Chain A
Amino acid sequence: MGFKEINHAELKIKQGPNFIGIPIKHVGELIKEGEIKTTKVEALTSIKQASEILLENDEVLNYQYLQDGEIKSMEGYGNISIYNNSSKDRIWDTQIHLSGTQYNSLDSETKMNLGIFEPKTSRNIKYNITNLDELPESLKFSEEIEFLSDEMEGFRDTDSGGNKKNYFLMYGKENNLRITIKLENVSNSSIKNINLKKALSKSFYDLRIDTEYNKNIKFSRNTLDWVIQSLDPGQKAAISITGKIKPMVKENIRTGHIDLTYTIKDRAISGIILEDFSAYSHAMHAINKIEIDESPDNWRCSLVFKNRCSFPIKINSIIVSDKAQSTKYLDMDLKDKETLVLPGNTYASESWEIQDDNEPKFSRKLEYSVTHTFQKNTDVVIHVNDEVFNIVGLQIKKDISEKEIKSFESSKINVSLRVDNMGTIPLQGFLLKETIPEDFLPINKISEYKFKNSAGEVKSDNFELRIIPPDEDSTKPHVIELNNTKKLKSVIGSNDFLELSYSFNAVSPDNKKDYRFPLEVKSFYSKYRDQADLHDFKYSDQADLKVLYVKKDVLSKDEEAPSVKIAHKRRKVSIGKEIFPGRTHDEFAIVVHVKNRSNVKLDNLEITDTFPQSFQLISSNLENKVSKNNEESTNTIMFNVDSILPFDEKEIMYYLKNITGKEIQFSELESFFYS
């Protein structure tokens, strides 16, 4: 359970699953007043017209989206850095006027006096960007996942109509997918340095990428790294990844999160505007007064402005008046004119003449400022969460308890069917279709069908039964259709099963026919999350493919779909009787031959014979029972044969003796009964 201390710097830059948000880039880091990097200084001073005052406005927007495009969180902040890159000159009375700040935490109109900037120093103005949801969209992106397999009906329909889709993979089967990511620059500015990273589960294989941006794509360890140098306004880019995956264990495979970063050049997306920036540096202004040679007491005057610093200075206005300020000799508004005085240069105004006995005195007011360069950029960082692929799959086992039934005899056949949910989500609905061939009849009573899951019995009124056609004509085949009603919110939970026990009747099965009982199970899954809000649908063949995925499993192979063997067994027996004279004239041996001529074992044969009461039983080879029939003056002798195997024969022998001494009739010994 390891915990580790994280300091402020590590929080910004450390990578790992514990940190939410992309590591902050250097441009967004706060720079307190202090030394700045000299590389920037050298670059700027080499340009003649470039100011050595640099204003950089960098904004960073962080978005986190759900996979379906819904915003989960967003934050934005900005930073305006003011750099004095001069190595020798300070600036003072630095004023900055910002507006258009309705999106951020500064006041709506912000004027700040930043005071003095020593050489090679900088200062920052930080602000948060609020009302992020009102900011204009700059780069539109979308991710579509298509299933190219035909294993499920409704799979190919990618139009979700704005609903949040469920994603599915078939358990134990090869699933083909295509993921398409589209980008479009919907802003008015050029978007630069677009970098998109997409992580795919390591379970994917045979991955292929299709795009026109082949050169800038790296693909390693199932992570796509796509770089687009720039997208102009209105320009689009797209990439497709096709791949295969075969889930063999129950696990949550993810669709893969996306990290996207890009820069909007020359634009601060919050809408902040730099109305004005001004600062003073070393400059000298004076009024030259020259008494005209030809006209004493007449003076020719002009104003000179000398730039003594290293910054170009722009003169905005010049007013020269008399002491009372009633007469203006110079009144120049130069704001809209490029009146730049470069470092070391001098500006001289037009001259005016004045008459004065003494040296004229003037009042002057100049507005000027060092120039500056203003750069702005917006960096956008987007993280798109991924979703889970639900795994769907069923394991179906069918068993018929009667492996063999008698031909042309009616009997009951008991079926038990077990459907195990091998997937990671519950089965919302199912439809079972079993074909019952001719000579058999299904039972059209739902109460005769028993249902059970891990929690115990499931009431049969949660299911609907249809027998097609709904008649009792066994000369034609029928179909049993069973599906759950909407009463059951999920018919088979994940890690659960449903057991069905039912029976159907054999009416007159013919041993010359081969009977099959093919079984088809359709399972239904919601296409969308929050399915309760969608319109009514049926778990039947008329399933609404707009809201449901339908997966079909068929049991057709011999080992999966057991059949019933029709045994054709007939009994054939013959019983013969022979009478032999015995050792003496009044003794007789009776031999009864019992022959089993069939291929069926015969059990519990009872053979009964009669003989006159004038005879007495002397002995027999089998246990017997003798009883008297006084009405007919006969004795009945009964023998029990336990069993005779097919095509086997048994002999019953018994000896009789005449006890009357009179002459006997052979015919009296002939009759017998077989039962």
Chain B
Amino acid sequence: MDGEKIMDVQYLNLLQDTSKKRLLYLVEYISPIFSKDELPKVLEEIEGKSSKSKKGLVELGKNSGTNADLSKLSLDQLKLMYQVFISKEINDKTAIKWRLYQFLKYSRFIDVKKIQVNMVGDIKQGVDLVVETLEKKTIFFTCVDILELKNYKNALTEVIKFVKEQKIKPDRVIVAANKTYRNIPLDQPFKLDKEEITPELWVELIDDSCPFNGVDMLVVENTELNLAGFNFTNMEDILDYIYQNSEGGQVSIVKQPGFFSEYKSDESERQLIWKGIMLKKNI
């Protein structure tokens, strides 16, 4: 559906208030928070400005303790941040790449040790992220907006090219997409440097039965976590985030419906959407 709104979050052009104050307020709720070294790289790419700074693989996230100062962003930058991370109306390769980067910072699918971002400037193809895991495995991520057979094959060709240029061999190759056609031959391996690898597909999954909307505030009780619903698309997603960013133990998640909406919602009372225990230590 072109022009869709994801989980009730309005597109930028439909917002009543697009002032800097309002947009900054919303952008400050993007989770995980961008660190000082991450934000300039994100902006460089989503603004599409070719930079004189270093191209190629750049390790990010080393200064995770120092948060970036979002108040210095211009109105145009805030608008782009809104469209990429909040309303998700921009779904090009760069947008998918940075949303995937954000996801990898807390996802429990992979035990991330190091993330290197391929700063490619104007080039719109190729490997986007190189991740090293705690198990010393290397994973290549390549991002597309809509995965179809043609660009799937191109993506694999680019991986082969990247391996030759960078002389890094991946243990896994993952294609990340916003949407996908159904005729992708995922069961067929491809040859990479005399070995066969079966690519994997990750999709930016929206769960229709998710108990919260993008405009809801999600409060994790007994913690300092007040999270905006637009950061997550399914329950597993938010639970992974809470697991990584809290002490664990007994966890209750309460939603405040329509907290970020410009329109008054009929539901105004807080509602419990999840209750359980997170065990953070091995038993």
The interface of chain A, by Cβ under 8 A from chain B, is 1-8, 11-12, 16-21, 23-24, 75, 249-252, 254, 257, 385-386, 388, 424, 494-495
Contacts and interface: CB of A to CB of B under 8 A. Distances in A.
Given A1-B85, A1-B103, A18-B205, A6 B180 contact: yes
A625 B177 CA distance: 95
Contacts of A495: 13, 16, 18
A319 B50 CA distance: 81
Contact of B204 (A2, A7, A20, A385): A2
Chain B interface size band reads 35 or more
B1 interface: yes
Contacts of B183: 21, 75
Nearest to A21: B182
B197 to A, nearest CB: 15
A386 B4 CA distance: 11
A1 B201 contact: no
A313 B123 CA distance: 64
Contacts of B276: none
A3 B179 CA distance: 11
B87 interface: no
**Lowest 3 CB-CB distances: which A-B pairs, in order?**
A2-B237, A8-B186, A1-B99
Contacts of A23: 182
Contacts of B233: 1-2
A11 B100 CA distance: 20
A323 to B, nearest CB: 55
B14 interface: yes
A252 B14 contact: yes
B3 A1 contact: no
B205 A3 contact: yes
Contacts of B10: 251
27 contacts: A1-B100, A1-B102, A1-B233, A2-B237, A3-B100, A3-B205, A4-B205, A5-B174, A5-B202, A6-B180, A6-B186, A11-B186, A16-B208, A17-B1, A18-B180, A19-B203, A21-B182, A75-B183, A249-B263, A250-B14, A251-B5, A251-B14, A252-B14, A388-B3, A424-B13, A495-B16, A495-B18
B interface SS class: loop
Given A2-B236, A5-B200, A424-B14, A18 B206 contact: yes
B1 A2 contact: no
B180 A20 contact: yes
Contacts of A4: 202-203, 205, 234, 236
A5 B18 CA distance: 36
Contacts of A19: 179-180, 182, 203
B273 interface: no
B182 A20 contact: yes
A419 B11 CA distance: 24
Interface in B1-42: 1-5, 10-11, 13-14, 16, 18
A252 B183 CA distance: 31
B141 to A, nearest CB: 10
B202 A3 contact: yes
A2 B180 contact: no
Interface in B146-192: 146, 174, 176-187
